[in-house]
Amino acid sequence: MLGVYSLLTLLLASTAVAHRHRGRHVHIRPPSSTGAAAAAHPTTYSNYLFRFTGTDPVNVDEILDSLQPYGFNMSHLHHTFSETMNGFSALMSDHCVGVLKDMVTPDGVQIEPVVTMKLRVPVASTIPKPQRPFVDHRKRGAHIRHNHVHTHYKPAIRPRGPGFSIATRIGEDPVESSPASSAIPSPSTVPAADDDVPAEYDILQTDATWGLQRISQRNPILGVADTDVNGQNFKYKFDESAGEGVDIYVIDTGINTAHKDFGGRAKVEFVAQSLVNSEGPGDFAGHGTHCAGTTGSMHYGVAKRANIYGIKIMGRSGGGLSSDIAAGIEHMVKRHRQRRLDPTFRGSVASMSFGLDVATADLGNSSVISKSPVLDSVIMAAAAEGIHTVIAGGNQGIDACRVSPGYLSRAVGLRGNYSASVITVGAADVFDNRADFSNYGECITTYAPGVAVLSTYINGDNSTQVLQGTSMAAPHVAGLVAYLLGLRPELKEDVQGMKRLLTSTAGRGLIGNVVDAEDKRLVAYNGVDG
């Protein structure tokens, strides 16, 4: 890194100069002698996100050092991001912002105020639900090996424990194990517990939530009433691989990792610095624990063998700073890069149940769109790294293309490495109707269960809660993507290929209560029946 004296010399030069950084050139221009650079230092400061848009990485330390003679205080720096993110967040005066703009080539930096993203749950989203006693399958004829559910098999079926049994791909009742046939092939690397039992089979969970049953059948659930949806009287069919080797990052309010239904597979991976002292790593809102449970817990989750990592960027209030979210995503990308080296690794999935809403006064004005371009770029960078990104579509009952980051499902950019690979999810009820609160339209990749969703919670190590929102729909799809990665290892980092698979296997044209002709009205489906 160049010294402060050298930098000042360069800044005072009359022409732009190029600093060499890791063998590449990054152009920094001297500040103008007029305008913001020459103005008196103001006393007004704001939190900003900065991202440099050039194809070459910028040495952020060098930039920040060069700003200090103009009043920037290094203690006001919040986060610096890697070359992938190519930026930083900081509390900065408008004077220094002007100096920074003057230093780089035109349009060479994105600058935006830090905004507060909100959880994707509508008003009055909590539905009372009595707690159901936790059943430990290890005491009922099954065991957990390597944190995953397994059963001791004989040629004839033995119980997998209450609520679990072997099932063929045809029919609803538990029967003997038989070879599977599916449009999505099962991996040969998952062995049966005994050599005389075929390696390819399905598991039937008979104490599942309605959401799990819905994603494991192409057609609607028949003969169900409103009073049924809070219970666990449904059936979920899934392949025994169940997302093994896949990492799910729940970017949210944290996770109650002590909950028994996670079986030790959940951990807190990152806590935003702004929350470290105020709250610590725990989940005090419940939202993150609920979402994590839907992605991969034992009873309520889709991918029951996946690794679950909490990226805590929101607190008990249900809001989170865009700068903290960017830092959490940065951490996820770094871990994803490390995990690539593990031969058992099958991919990374990001579950994001937050967003930036349109102001209530502007809901009727279709031209108003909520935007956070810098954070959007960070999310797109994660997708370009091969992280499968699933986003809640929003709960304002408007076009999902009007809200950030949901509109990224149709975005193209980031140096050509990203092309509409984000998956945006709308919420549906048990009757396959779009929830009244759910956003809709072209930017909804698929709908998933988002009304009366039962999952893990924070009031104890076996507590549950029923919530609703696109926040609840997105984890169903994040878990489904993890599940499909367990079956399709060739899609490990093929985010566009996974999105095509998800949309091609989905139930088509089934969602009611949608008047937008651009909405594809798809329903997420795991393809277990072919």
Q: Which residues are catalytic?
A: 252, 287, 471
Spatial distance between the Cα atoms of 404 and 136, rounded to a whole number of angstroms: 41
Is the distance from CB of 394 to CB of 357 less than 8 angstroms?
yes
DSSP assignment of 47-107 equals EEEEEE-SSS---HHHHHHHHGGGT--GGGEEEE--TTT-EEEEEEEHHHHHHHHHHBPTT
Spatial distance between the Cα atoms of 2 and 11, rounded to a whole number of angstroms: 12
Query: Which is nearest to 110 in space by CA: 381, 364, 510, 361?
Result: 381
Is the distance from CB of 381 to CB of 415 less than 8 angstroms?
no
Is the distance from CB of 155 to CB of 197 less than 8 angstroms?
yes
Query: Which is nearest to 426 in space by CA: 389, 404, 395?
Result: 395
Contacts of residue 305, Cβ cutoff 8 Å, sequence gap at least 6: 147, 148, 149, 241, 242, 243, 244, 245, 265, 296, 486
Which regions of 266-411 does DSSP assign to beta strands (E)?
266-271, 307-312, 319-321, 347-352, 354-355, 388-392
Contacts of residue 348, Cβ cutoff 8 Å, sequence gap at least 6: 246, 247, 248, 249, 332, 336, 339, 386, 387, 388
Query: Which is nearest to 242 in space by CA: 159, 150, 311?
Result: 150
204 sits in which H/E element:
strand 202-208
Spatial distance between the Cα atoms of 61 and 331, rounded to a whole number of angstroms: 19
Contacts of residue 39, Cβ cutoff 8 Å, sequence gap at least 6: 95, 98
Q: What share of the chain is helix, strand, coil (3-state, %, to 5)?
A: 25, 25, 50
117 sits in which H/E element:
strand 116-119
